[in-house]
Amino acid sequence: MKEVKTNRVELSGDVYRHVIASHLAGRRVLNAFWVFCDVGELVCDVGDDVCNSLLASLSAFGHVGYGYQVFDEMLAKDVRVSTLGFGVFLWRWCGSVELDKVLSLVDEVNRRDWGVNGSVVALLVVHGLCSANRVDDAMYMLDVLRKRGWKPDFMAYRVVAEALRGIGNVVDVERVLKMKRKLGVAPRSSDYKDFIIQLVSERLISEAKDLGEVIVNGDFPIEDDVLNALIGSVSTNDPFSALKFFKFLVAKERFPTLLTLSNLSRNLCKHGNHGELLEVFKILSAKEYFIDIERYSIMVSFLCKAGKVKEAYEVLQEMKRKGLGPDLSCYNNVMEACCREDMTRPAKRLWDEMFANGCEADLKTYNILITKFSEIGHVKEAHTLFCHMLERGIEPDEPIYVVLLKGLCQNNELETALEVFKKCFERDAEIAQTILGKFIHYLCKEGQFIAASNLVLDYTSTIGNSESSMILLELLVDAGEVPVAIEHVKKVGEISPRMLHELHAEFLSSLSSSSKQRPMLEFIQVIESLQRNL
């Protein structure tokens, strides 16, 4: 866009529309505004939906001055203002300006008859004024907006009444409540549903939360899908407010969707609110929400993520009593949580229990246990599991081979490690070639230099290459095992003259940058001597 501006390239309104929408989607609100400033006469081509999104986003992010410029340009070019754009703008702007300025904009939008929902905007205006501690002005606006045809609903009157109650003005509280009974209209849940869903889709989550709290605190009607949208979106940054919406939903004998429950649970875990997570599951359990494996699986999964292993295990037992599994994913989750918390004995019991219940292990199950046993030095058990999975026809993946080889090397089980690598080569040569370098590292780290050399030589004609020999030689030099390294080079020359040539080229290219040039020169001399004798 900078190049476009510099070179004075003319773009269509459609291009500007996509660029502005892209910036808004990426939360680059000010960038979107700067592009809008370059649109000029093409504002109508940008489209009223994008213009209103920009107006709402600027206002929500605190850039109400820029929002006013966008609004002014929309009026000038007769671009339709929506309830979303105008509502959020007035909501965040009205608290800092004189009332006559607010009313002049209301009159202008009213005159153009763009279909803005007056009752919704009236609520937003009085809420904005009360939030700015201008309660008297909010009370005044109830009457003024009503006379202009933007009838405040019961929620607007309640917002003002509660603000007055908060400052101890009991007389005016009664006055506003009388106005509500006489002049107020019932809020239409469908109007607020559409508005809140729009806020969520525009990712104006703070605004959606504020409006949702007005509805919930006043016990006004709100549809389930709106509450689900609020719970899922608000929990991302404010799990406690999301919890309030969750409790309101359940108190009405309604339940969150599985997606909503997953999002809420995930965000409670992310914020470390593990006590609140337990509370959520306790509330749902009391309402007999958990009636199938799918719902139970969500509870087990997030209890494990929160480190609540005991509670997760108890849920497994409850599932068994109800004849609902548990299924393999539940066992894997609890087993993984046990291993993460160093509870290997319970993990073993789960393994036995799983097979007793006719639940077959999968690759993940073996991965969990082999990894843990290898890490804590129980390599014989890890190897037994490895053999068990081969017997059952489950192919190990690269991580299993790597962690098992590392554990075996650390525990001086050299023969078993070589046997495992041989099986890897026989079953999947590609994996064997990928992990060969790591295996060499593990052997050398434990001082098994001759074994590492023999390993490379044994596989030179199949999966070995100059890279694996270079890895070995560098490790040998670092360990001061130059004689072993020279002997390895000689044996490579006997097996593969081509690889000897490749090693020679690699040594020459790395000689100038090497911190250990003397051994490198020795290697080069040995190789050149071997090449002359070939």
* Residue 247 confidence class, pLDDT cut points 50, 70, 90: very high
* Residue 89 confidence class, pLDDT cut points 50, 70, 90: very high
Task: Flag the least confident range among 15-19, 281-285, 519-523.
Answer: 519-523
Region 405-410: mean pLDDT is 98
**Segment 168-178, tens digit of pLDDT:** 999 999 999 99
Query: How much is the pLDDT for 10?
Result: 66
* Residue 143 confidence class, pLDDT cut points 50, 70, 90: very high
Closest CA to 476 of 417, 523, 510: 523
Cα gap 140→477, rounded to integer Å: 86
Q: Residue 461 pLDDT more than 90?
A: no
Query: How much is the pLDDT for 525?
Result: 82
Considering the chain, what percentage of its residues have pLDDT values greater than 90? 78
Residue 198, phi then psi, degrees to nearest 5 = -65, -45
Q: Are 74 and 81 in contact (CB under 8 A)?
A: yes
Residue 153, phi then psi, degrees to nearest 5 = -95, 180
Q: Residue 115 pLDDT more than 60?
A: yes
Query: How much is the pLDDT for 515?
Result: 67
Region 59-81: mean pLDDT is 95
Q: Residue 505 pLDDT more than 90?
A: no
Region 431-437: mean pLDDT is 95
Cα gap 357→17, rounded to integer Å: 59
Cα gap 139→133, rounded to integer Å: 12
3-state helix, strand, coil in the chain (%, to 5): 75, 0, 25
Q: Residue 462 pLDDT more than 90?
A: no
Q: Return the exposure string of 322-357: e unless at least 16 CB atoms fall within 10 Å of the residue's CB, then b.
A: eebbbbeebbbbbbbbbbeeebbebbeebbebbeee
Query: How much is the pLDDT for 7?
Result: 59
Region 500-506: mean pLDDT is 81
Closest CA to 91 of 120, 48, 54, 50: 120
Cα gap 286→455, rounded to integer Å: 61
Q: Residue 534 pLDDT more than 60?
A: no
Region 235-257: mean pLDDT is 96
* Residue 494 confidence class, pLDDT cut points 50, 70, 90: confident
Closest CA to 140 of 93, 182, 98, 84: 98
Cα gap 302→298, rounded to integer Å: 6
Q: Residue 2 pLDDT more than 70?
A: no
Q: Are 304 and 270 in contact (CB under 8 A)?
A: no
Task: Flag the least confident range among 153-157, 289-293, 525-529.
Answer: 525-529
* Residue 5 confidence class, pLDDT cut points 50, 70, 90: low
Q: Residue 55 pLDDT more than 60?
A: yes
Region 227-252: mean pLDDT is 96
* Residue 231 confidence class, pLDDT cut points 50, 70, 90: very high
* Residue 432 confidence class, pLDDT cut points 50, 70, 90: very high
Packing angle, helices 379-391 and 414-427, rounded to 10: 30
Please give the structure tokens belonging to residue 283: 């509330």
Greater confidence, 46 or 510? Answer: 46
* pLDDT, averaged across the chain: 92
CA 494, 495, 500, 506: dihedral to nearest 10 degrees? Answer: -140
Q: Residue 8 pLDDT more than 80?
A: no
Query: How much is the pLDDT for 478?
Result: 85
Q: Residue 435 pLDDT more than 90?
A: yes
CA 355, 359, 363, 368: dihedral to nearest 10 degrees? Answer: -60
User: In Å, what is the CA distance from 346 to each residue of 209, 316, 343?
Assistant: 42, 13, 6
Residue 404 exposure: Cα atoms within 13 Å on the Cβ side = 28
Query: How much is the pLDDT for 9?
Result: 59
CA 311, 317, 323, 324: dihedral to nearest 10 degrees? Answer: 30
Q: Which residues of 231-358 form beta strands (DSSP E)?
A: none
Cα gap 518→178, rounded to integer Å: 97
**Segment 312-352, tens digit of pLDDT:** 999 999 999 999 989 999 999 999 999 999 999 999 999 99
